[in-house]
Structure 1
């Protein structure tokens, strides 16, 4: 596999994941906003600079996304106790509840729409589980 094919695969997996975890109400979020809220959800009490470093987005993009997400009630902000000039970000209770509810949905229906052959769709699910085990840090999240 070359780098371009890996990037294309990553983009396709992102599209499938977005289909699984979003609904028409969240479709108003941009892909960048979804990436920011997902990063903050995974790293509560984080800073804009930390989000920027993990996502690779420009600081201005992260700051704009944070402002929009905060206005929508999806992010909570507060001062950093160690440095009052920094702001720390946490997903709001509403956002956390929504993400937990959607994250529990199985991926198989989305995969079945993407790969119509049932045997091939099952194989894709198995391979993705194996890749997740090999490539993602931390314990498996079943």
Structure 2
């Protein structure tokens, strides 16, 4: 695999992930492209609790207006909480919610089998199991325990049989 193939694989996996997410509330159909934006912001908040919108914008390279919009959506879904910064009451600090909201639980519980079957064009159990196991290995090596980017320390890659 080369860098271009890895990049294209990453984009394909993102699309499959979007397909695996449950429909947004209100039956408005699939998510708009803003789903990636919200997930990037949520990931940054998970890695940097008690952070300001401007700091998220600086770390992610996203415009502050888009970060504010994403934080508002996450707050509405019960995924994050905002509070005034004690050092500067004009700023809001954002952190993950202590309790998982019903909507967040629904999104996290969404399975990927249907989206993988559609992407593979096959429901052959052996092939589906192989792909799912490969994704599990990648997740263990490239996602933190909170599900955000970053290697997990102490995890080992299972040996191939």
| Structure 1 gap ranges (5+) | none
Distance 1:79 1:103 in 2: 28
Q: Which has the higher helix share?
A: 1
2:51 corresponds to which residue? 46
Of 127, 138, 142 in structure 2, the residue corresponding to residue 135 of structure 1 is 142
1:19 corresponds to which residue? 19
Paired residues in the alignment total 138
1:9 CA displacement: 1.5
The structure that has the greater radius of gyration is 2
Q: Structure 2 length normalisation: TM-score?
A: 0.64
Per-residue CA deviation, residues 13-52 of structure 1 (Å, 9 max, x unaligned), is 1111122223153735523234334544665533213432
1:103 CA displacement: 1.0
SS of the residue corresponding to residue 101 of structure 2 reads helix
Q: Structure 1 length normalisation: TM-score?
A: 0.71
SS of the residue corresponding to residue 110 of structure 2 reads coil
2:131 corresponds to which residue? 124
SS of the residue corresponding to residue 106 of structure 1 reads coil
Greater mean deviation of Cα atoms: 115-124 or 25-34: 25-34
Query: Do the aligned partners of 2:22 and 2:106 also contact (CA within 8 Å) in 1?
Result: no
2:38 corresponds to which residue? 33
1:130 CA displacement: 0.5
**Structure 1 stretches of at least 4 aligned residues deviating more than 6 Å after TM superposition:** 92-95
Distance 2:67 2:5 in 1: 27
1:79 corresponds to which residue? 84
1:109 corresponds to which residue? 114
1:100 corresponds to which residue? 105
Greater mean deviation of Cα atoms: 106-115 or 18-27: 18-27
Distance 2:47 2:18 in 1: 16
Change (3 A) 1:28 1:133: closer
Query: Do the aligned partners of 1:108 and 1:122 also contact (CA within 8 Å) in 2?
Result: no
Report the RMSD for the aligned CA atoms in angstroms: 3.2
| Structure 2 gap ranges (5+) | 146-151, 156-161
